[in-house]
Structure 1
Amino acid sequence: MEKKDFKKKEMTGLELNLLHAEEVENAVLGAVMLEPVSLHEVEGFVREEMFYQQKHRYIWRAIESLSAKGLEPDIIMVTQELAAMGKLEEAGGAYEVTLKTANLASSAHLWEHVRVLYEFYLRRSIAECMMRRLGEVTDRTQDVYEVLLGLMADLEKLEENSPLEEHLLDMKGVMKKTCGRIRERVGRSVNGVTGIPTGVPELDRITGGWQPGNLIFTAGRPGMGKTQLGLKFALHAAEKGYKVLFYTLEMMSEEVGERVLMMRAPELYRKVKGGYTTEQEVDDLCRVGDEVAECRMMVDDTPYVSIDRLCAGAQTVKSRWGLDLVVVDYLQLLGTVARTGRTREQEVAECSRRLKALARSLECPVIVASQLNRQVEQTFDHRPELKHLRESGAIEQDADLVIMLHRNERGGDPKRCGLIVAKNRHGEASQPNTSVEVDLF
């Protein structure tokens, strides 16, 4: 056994025949050299590191080099290119290159072989990832939750970097998926609402409800009611039977519970909170809590959670229990991995992009509260615009829907707020000087 093979076996602790298939690597290389035109089908999808054997990596490198020069990578040209690279002997010589096409009649099954090639590469990558993290697991000075998050991030990266995801479609494929989505949307339509109902009729009319895969930002200045609005959306969906995950980064779960009781029994809650109440009234309020307890909403009150942990947690909930809606309160409190030279705007932009990717991967709407900058208070009527989104223009770019909270007077009714649809990628936005009035409690 060669030294490099022994190192791989020792590192993974698995038999090598589980980690690579030489006949598959031969088939991919042979098909491309036998019918060079087939290279265009897989170029950009197959990468050098997917080949386990180093000699096969050299051959693929020569194939890519010829392609970059506009030359066809047939057996003769590949052999000459390997010689020019000084790697012909390390690739097994001219005879070894010729053998790659010996058992092939055509490149008809190239894509099937590429899929198997990638599967073996993925197995090796997972094993190497596990072993890399094993040292951290056995080190008691390491935070075990950070190790777990690191492992999940590694695996998520492997999944995201898959070259075999079906993102490239011809128009036949596009229209098939489009019509299927339309039929599904119409099938779940209730009174014109095709997505998850918002709980605000006028907002339902404008948006059709929260749509799968959409990233929605609710933005406002501190004290405007962002948290209460997000909770209102979450609770309404949960009470309609949808599975909701609510992330609160600045409140404890008990505080979320109190907010819910305040929404469902405001007068009773005020009496109990003030302490001027009877035991019967406390029991009545707890009965309201028992009724709300049956709705399908989960609360994560991890303080200042990182974007990595949030995404991993949402994926876990989705796989275990199912998930229809995610609500995050709020964007500027999300943490990221510290990197030298990065500004806060860049960190917020990363969170925004990750949340958009999360919405697409979960195939459910993600609603995120965000702050507005102080410039909005310097305007004549305090009416917010997209330019007032705090700390990052990426929010405006990534969002499918941006809803801004607006109050003409600070001393107005705290229960009521105006909602301005500042951006709606898939429909109409609010007209100038108009807003949707909503009760927050």
Structure 2
Amino acid sequence: MEQAVLSACLIETTAMPLVSTKIRPEMFYEQRHQKVYDAMLHMSTQGTGIDILTVSEELRRRGELEQIGGPYFITQLSSHVANSTHLDYHLQVVHEKFIRRQLILGFNKLFALSADETMDLEDTLAEGHKLLENIEKEFGCNTNLRELKVLMADTMREAEGRINNNAAGITGVSTGLHDLDKLTAGWQKGDLNIIAARPSVGKTAFAMHLATAAAKAGRHTVVYSIEMAGERLGDRLILSQANIDAEQWKSGQVDAWGLSEATKAASELGQLPMRIDDTGTAGMDYIRASARMLHSKGLCDVVFIDYLQLCEMKPDKQARNREQEVAMATHKAKLMARELNIPVILLSQLNRESENRPGRKPMLSDLRESGSIEQDADLVILLYRPAMAQLPTDKESGYPTDGLGIAIIAKHRNGQTGNVYFGHNKSMTRIADYTPPEPWISKNAE
């Protein structure tokens, strides 16, 4: 099959443009074939005509002609096929054999790593993840190249799906906030969404509200909590549903009625299709592998990660500093969203710049440690609570700041930017659409 491919390239001028888009030199098993094809590939990029004589001359110039068997071998190659009629099939077989060899080599390496107890288990799992990722990329080689006619048909099919499946304008996963759904149409498949704020503003509380809303909409929701133990998230979930005092719950001073309310809330929450992984040392490779496994079982429709800067990041040759490590983690989160075709919501910290600003209002440039966060994200939400800056009234809306939160849509690759106002209680355990207090409504009505 390899000789048939090389033969087609030697005898037909139309063969090389097709072959060069599907096969690389290392995909040939026979080393002689690799050298001949590499010479052809170089000649093709240089615009040199390819035939028996010119290929022989190129190999002679490289000092490789005698190594492959001399001019006779090139002449012999040209006699394997009369034309390139079955070239596509020949290429498919060569490509498939290469992938099988890569699988054999890769799994043998993984077997050796698995048996070596001096190797870190997480590194071994990361190697396995990387192997499968590379094989999948090879297996899908060039399948993303589509004629515009095909792309238009695929685009219309996707649009028709949105039209048929939309619910009150929501085509993705509901966020649980009416105004946020209105701006985004819900969390969209394949998107990386960043929610960023300074510490103690309420990133986790906001994210848990969004995660619960997704689960209540029937979506399999997975939360990776690196910062907080699962039981603490469980506390927040119960407090978001049960009408009990957060301080009393924390101190254990809950009466029988409060305990009954909490038990009822816990029972209802337990029915939701939500999973929480509180592995404190989780890295993005671990999260991707876990999400991939759950997705293969139909148990992962949306992923929340709390939060980026706490992800375990092991420096390697490609990441020499913290900024590059964060950039790689963000890029992996984006790849996960694309390859699983699900929304990924990634929490991130903002730097201190906003605290030196009047009103402490955050900006897109405040994203901590890496500009790649902004670059990879399809949607960036900055959380802001003007009451924390001792502002009695929000300047833009005129709303009183007590119990007011603002989700600033600072970047939206596929839609509008703007402010989404939400209400919260003092402990930030209950979040809902914002409704101004009655005195404010009466005053403004007048």
Superposition TM-score, scaled by structure 2 size: 0.87
The equivalent of 1:66 in structure 2 is 43
Letter in 1 for 2:15: S
Secondary structure in 2 matching 1:89: helix
Pairing 1:134–2:122 present: no
Pairing 1:436–2:421 present: yes
Shift of 1:74: 2.0
Contact 1:249 1:330 in 2 (8 A): yes
Shift of 1:329: 0.5
Q: How many residues align?
A: 415
The equivalent of 1:6 in structure 2 is none
Contact 2:43 2:50 in 1 (8 A): yes
Pairing 1:425–2:403 present: no
Contact 2:244 2:258 in 1 (8 A): no
What are the within-5 Å matches in structure 2 for residues 37-436 of structure 1?
A: 37-161=14-138, 164-267=141-244, 271-279=248-256, 281-339=258-316, 342-410=320-388, 416-430=404-418, 434-436=419-421
Secondary structure in 2 matching 1:213: coil
Contact 2:25 2:38 in 1 (8 A): yes
Residues 108 and 179 (structure 1 numbering): CA distance in 2 closer, same or farther, change over 3 Å?
farther
Superimposed CA distance per residue, residues 353-389 of structure 1 (whole angstroms, 9 cap, x where no aligned partner): 1111111101011001111111111111222111111
Shift of 1:163: 6.5
Secondary structure in 2 matching 1:409: helix
Contact 1:45 1:164 in 2 (8 A): yes
Distance 2:9 2:243 in 1: 71
Superimposed CA distance per residue, residues 30-87 of structure 1 (whole angstroms, 9 cap, x where no aligned partner): 2222213321123243111101111111111121121133112223322222233222
Contact 1:261 1:269 in 2 (8 A): no
Q: State percent identity of aligned pairs.
A: 34
Secondary structure in 1 matching 2:68: coil
Distance 2:421 2:85 in 1: 58
Distance 1:122 1:307 in 2: 26
Superposition TM-score, scaled by structure 1 size: 0.88
93-102 or 370-379, larger mean C-alpha shift: 93-102
Superimposed CA distance per residue, residues 211-232 of structure 1 (whole angstroms, 9 cap, x where no aligned partner): 1001100110000110111111
Question: Unmatched 5+ residue regions in structure 2?
Answer: 393-400, 431-446
Residues 105 and 322 (structure 1 numbering): CA distance in 2 closer, same or farther, change over 3 Å?
farther
Distance 1:371 1:200 in 2: 22
Distance 2:54 2:402 in 1: 76
